A and B are shown apart, each in its own frame.
Chain A
Amino acid sequence: MTFWNDPINFIAKWLMDVFSGWGMGEVLAYVITAVIGIVVLILFSMGLAIFLVWVERKVVARFQDRVGPNRLGPFGLVQPFADIIKLIIKEDLTPAGADKFIYNLAPVMALGSVILLWAVLPLASNIYGTDLNVAVLYLVAAGALGTLAIIMAGWASNNKYALLGAFRMVATMISYEVPMVVTLLIPTILAGTMSIQGITQAQGGLWFFILSPLGALIFLISAIAELGRAPFDLNEAESEIIAGFHIEYSGMKFGLFYAGELLHAFTFGGFVAILFFGGWRFFGLEQYSPLIGVVAFLAKALFGYWVIMWIKYTMPRIRIDHMLAFTWKFLTPLAFVLLMVTALLHKLLAGAETWIYASSLFLANIMIGWITVEILRAVGRRQRKAEEHKFEDVHALHPAEGHH
């Protein structure tokens, strides 16, 4: 074990030795080492959040044919720090009649829930917080905490807009959680484990994206909805309810919501990368040094984040009835069918050669997607026909108007 092939355990062991040398007990030494590791990991994620503010502003500027921040530092890289100073020295207002404790707790929880996700996010084969054996469920649970923070913020603000935003967030969360959990079952089936590290290990040969492209797509869509980003940003819909749940938040409390949202989006980009795109794996290069794995993972996660941004700045916001119909009448049945087919094929082809196994799973996904699109087209055609009939009936009632 050297620094180059196992940096975290190398440092941890060295720290443990140092603390034991000072005469500490094993438990205390472990706790202090773990705390140092956690603080480093959290500070890394916070630094990343600051960087993401810059990335987000720069990318949205390019999507809108602007330049974006370019005054402070090279390429405007110092801009987020200026934003932070501005937010910190801004007066913090609490609306009269707000539930003070919950009002102050909500932004802390919004960011805290995202930080919690980093506990199971593996950056490389041996650089990770911890390897929970129920990490997939933990991911769902910690993600739901973020939604709870939004509900708390909306409820405690004593503002109708905030409350409406919170209700919409509840509706989004409970609707999109179902297809998300179902698609989380697919990597679990393919890898045979719920541990995130185990799922990454299982993608040594084939990425799960090839075995389940449709599952990856459904997961991405429901992750965007869980994040409450456009086109599912009904909870903050600027043109309808101004800022939704964070309407009454100013200064650093708003900043925490904002940082939490960006980091959440990046983290989910990372989870898409881990569950379907091999995480820190990069065509075998990662075995030379875990640092290559870290770079590969961050690049994949940034790409996932970029796709989420791309969708955000391309799609218009959808209406709440469309949003609920989209998940309950389309994504949920599709995800269940996909789960059944994947489970059956995985079991039946367990002994088959890899290429037969992979190509039948891939083809099954394509077939399901194609059949779904065909059904949707047929339903759409029927609805259009019905509308046309209605139109013709109107004309039949007023025949004189038809001859102009």
Chain B
Amino acid sequence: MQSEWVYIGLFLVLGIIVPIVPLVLSRLVAPRKPNPIKQSTYECGIETVGESWVQFKAQYYIFALVFLVFDVETVFLFPWAISLDKLPLFAVVEGIIFISILVAGLVYAWRKGMLEWA
């Protein structure tokens, strides 16, 4: 068990190092002659107007909220799914009721118009 996570840790370190190698290689052989025109923001040849970090739709935020509810609750379902074979039928039905409440939440959000992209 411990060694599995050591392995994942080693994988993470090497997984970061390997993509850096071609970047370093490119740094060594590629030419570097920057000038302001080259470094300007690309917008199809038109000069950029104003800040690039623009405001965005609030709708993204609402979807993020709906997502958060579902994703957190589905994580709770994983232990239930693993032990399904050992659970009594009652516990399985309980899990199904839990999912039904989730779906009811989805229907509520739907009825409230949270899922419309307007």
Contact of B115 with A324 in the complex, beta carbons under 8 Å: yes
Assess the A108–B23 pair: CB atoms within 8 A: yes
A325 pairs with B115, CB closer than 8 A: yes
From the candidates B11, B96, B102, name the one contacting A343 in the complex (CB within 8 A). B96
A109 CA / B33 CA spacing, docked (Å): 27
A42 at the interface (CB under 8 A from B): yes
In contact, B44 and A242 (Cβ under 8 angstroms): yes
Q: Could you mark each residue 300-329 of chain A with 1 if its beta carbon is under 8 Å from any beta carbon of chain B, else 0?
A: 000000000000000000001100110011
Establish whether residues B102 and A336, one from each chain, have CB atoms under 8 Å apart when the complex forms: yes
Q: Does A31 contact B (CB under 8 A)?
A: yes
Question: Complex: how many Å from CA A175 to CA B106?
Answer: 12
| Chain A: minimal CB distance from B94 (Å) | 11
Whether B14 lies near A35 (C-beta < 8 A) is yes
Please, which residues of chain A bring their CB within 8 A of the CB of B108?
none
A160 touches B52 (CB 8 A): yes
B14's nearest neighbour on chain A, judged by CB, is A38
| Bound form: Cα–Cα A118–B39 in Å | 36
> Does B42 contact A175, Cβ atoms closer than 8 Å?
no
Residues of B within 8 A of A223 (CB): none
Which residues of B have CB within 8 Å of A251? 26, 30
Whether A160 and B54, one on each chain, are in contact in the complex, defined by CB atoms closer than 8 angstroms, is yes
Give A37 to B77 CA distance when docked, in angstroms. Answer: 34
Contact B71 A170 (CB under 8 A): no
Question: In chain B, residues 11-31, which have Cβ atoms closer than 8 Å to a Cβ of chain A?
Answer: 11-12, 14-16, 18-20, 22-23, 25-27, 29-31
CB of A171 closer than 8 Å to a CB of B: yes
Contact of B16 among A108, A170, A178, A181 (CB under 8 A): A108
CA distance A96 to B35 in the complex (A): 10
Stretch from A187-195, A266-274, A283-291, A386-394 that touches the partner: A187-195
Q: Which residues of B contact A118 (CB under 8 A)?
A: 11
Q: Are A170 and B36 touching (Cβ within 8 A)? A: no
**B22 near A332: Cβ-Cβ < 8 Å:** no
**Least distance between B72 CB and chain A CB atoms (Å):** 11
Query: What count of chain A residues pass the 8 Å CB interface test?
Result: 86
Q: Which residue of A lies closest to B91 (CB)?
A: A347
Q: B40: which A residues are within 8 A, CB to CB?
A: 95-96
What per-residue 1/0 map shows which CB atoms of B27-59 lie under 8 Å from chain A? 101111110101111111000100011101100
CB contact between B29 and one of A88, A133, A171 (< 8 Å): that residue: A88
Q: Bin chain B's interface residue count.
A: 35 or more
- Establish whether residues B36 and A189, one from each chain, have CB atoms under 8 Å apart when the complex forms: no
A321, B78: Cβ atoms under 8 Å?
no
Question: B74: which of A160, A161, A185, A255 is its contact (CB, 8 Å)?
Answer: A185
B10 A95 Cβ-Cβ under 8 A: no
Decide if A91 touches B31 in the complex (CB within 8 Å): yes
Residues of chain A lying within 8 A (CB to CB) of residue B30: 88-92, 251-252
With A96-B40, A178-B67, A339-B99 in contact, do A185 and B34 touch (Cβ < 8 Å)?
no
Contact yes or no, B19 A112, CB < 8 A: yes
Q: Is the CB–CB distance between A115 and B18 below 8 Å?
A: yes
Supposing A88-B25, A95-B39 touch, asked if A336 and B15 sit within 8 A by C-beta, the answer is no
- A174 touches which of B56, B64, B87 (Cβ 8 Å): B64
Sorted nearest first, the 9 A-B pairs with minimum C-beta distance are A321-B117, A174-B67, A115-B15, A252-B26, A111-B19, A96-B39, A119-B11, A112-B15, A188-B81
Q: Can you sample 23 A-B contacts with CB below 8 Å?
A: A34-B7, A38-B14, A84-B22, A87-B26, A91-B32, A91-B33, A96-B40, A112-B12, A112-B16, A115-B18, A132-B4, A133-B1, A160-B43, A163-B56, A171-B63, A174-B71, A178-B70, A242-B42, A324-B63, A325-B115, A336-B102, A344-B92, A347-B84
Extra inter-chain contacts (15) besides given A38-B11, A158-B53, A159-B41, CB under 8 Å: A30-B3, A38-B10, A90-B26, A91-B31, A130-B8, A160-B54, A175-B63, A178-B74, A188-B78, A256-B19, A329-B110, A340-B99, A343-B95, A347-B87, A347-B92
> B residues bordering A, Cβ < 8 Å?
1, 3-4, 6-8, 10-12, 14-16, 18-20, 22-23, 25-27, 29-34, 36, 38-44, 48, 52-54, 56-57, 60, 63-64, 66-67, 70-71, 74-75, 77-78, 81-82, 84-85, 87, 89, 92-93, 95-96, 99-100, 102-103, 106, 110, 115-117
Chain A residues in the interface with B (C-beta under 8 A): 30-31, 34-35, 38-39, 42-43, 46, 84, 87-97, 104, 107-109, 111-112, 115-116, 118-119, 129-133, 136-138, 155, 158-161, 163, 167, 170-171, 174-175, 177-178, 181-182, 185, 188-189, 192-194, 242, 247-248, 251-253, 255-256, 320-321, 324-325, 328-329, 332-333, 336-337, 339-340, 343-344, 346-348, 350
